[in-house]
Amino acid sequence: MKISLSVPVYNEREALLPLFENVQRVMRAHYGNDWEIIFVNDGSHDGSEKLLDDLASKNPEVKVVHFRRNFGQTAAMMAGFDFAQGETIIPLDGDGQNDPEDIPRIVAKLDEGYEVCSGWRKDRQDNALQRNIPSIIANKLISLVSGVELHDFGCSLKAYRTEVIKGVRLYGEMHRFLPIYAKWHGARITELPVKHHARKTGHSKYGLERVLKVVMDLLTV
């Protein structure tokens, strides 16, 4: 299989069907049936579980993993990686803010010889004070400490050659540091500006406490 999409889901019921329909349209147009999407239900309690099971029963490209409780985005993303069968693995947010139209663009960068292509939300549609400014500061700090220069470590939309991330075990908020691990193991990394949409449903799960977790995980790295 060419591509596996890993989508962590936590209380995003209203966004899931539009997200899947957009992904399905793009992926079938570019890759036919040579892809899969793995939704990891991270302990949702808003009806996401039933909706995902219904999607899986009607669409053979859909796989679903259910967690008994909320373990966090990193654990959910890793579970999707563990079940992935594709040559390329692409994480994707479950809130619909990533644009599926960007998937073929980042995959094309891997075809140029890179092992990792990181999305860069250059025109980020989030609250500037709560999200954008802290993110800019964090990205500069991470680049300085790690020696891996990227504008947007926090963007979920990335493309990885499976061999560079299979077997990596992460915790906390460390999914954002995957490009660092890959680079330290010799992977060629590039970056590509991607679209970012304003959230239309649900509520953000990010807060200042998550910034502190990122800083602590950076110290661990």
Sign of CA dihedral 120, 123, 128, 133: positive
Please state whether beta strands 189-193 and 158-161 pair in parallel, antiparallel, or not at all (unpaired).
unpaired
Instruction: Pull the structure tokens for residue 137.
Output: 């500061």
Alpha helices, DSSP H, located in the chain: 13-31, 48-58, 73-83, 103-111, 133-146, 178-184, 208-220
Percent of the chain with pLDDT over 70: 90
Confidence (pLDDT) at 170 = 80
Mean pLDDT to the nearest integer, 198-210: 62
Confidence (pLDDT) at 207 = 54
According to DSSP, the residues that pair with 196 across neighbouring strands are 98
CA-based nearest residue to 176, from 168, 186, 187: 168
116 alpha-carbon distance from chain centroid: 13
Residue 60 confidence class, pLDDT cut points 50, 70, 90? very high
Sign of CA dihedral 50, 52, 58, 60: negative
The residue among 203 and 114 whose pLDDT is bigger is 114
Q: Can you give the pTM of this predicted structure?
A: 0.88
Q: What is the pLDDT of residues 151-168, one digit of tens each?
A: 988 899 999 999 998 878
Greatest alpha-carbon span in the chain: 47
Is the model's pLDDT at 15 over the cut of 90?
yes
Q: What is the pLDDT of residues 121-147, one digit of tens each?
A: 887 765 545 555 777 777 788 888 888
Mean pLDDT to the nearest integer, 95-115: 95
- C-alpha torsion angle, residues 221, 141, 204, 180 (rounded to 10): -40
Confidence (pLDDT) at 27 = 98
Q: What is the CA radius of gyration of the chain?
A: 16
In whole angstroms, what is the distance from residue 90 CA to residue 144 CA?
26
Confidence (pLDDT) at 163 = 93
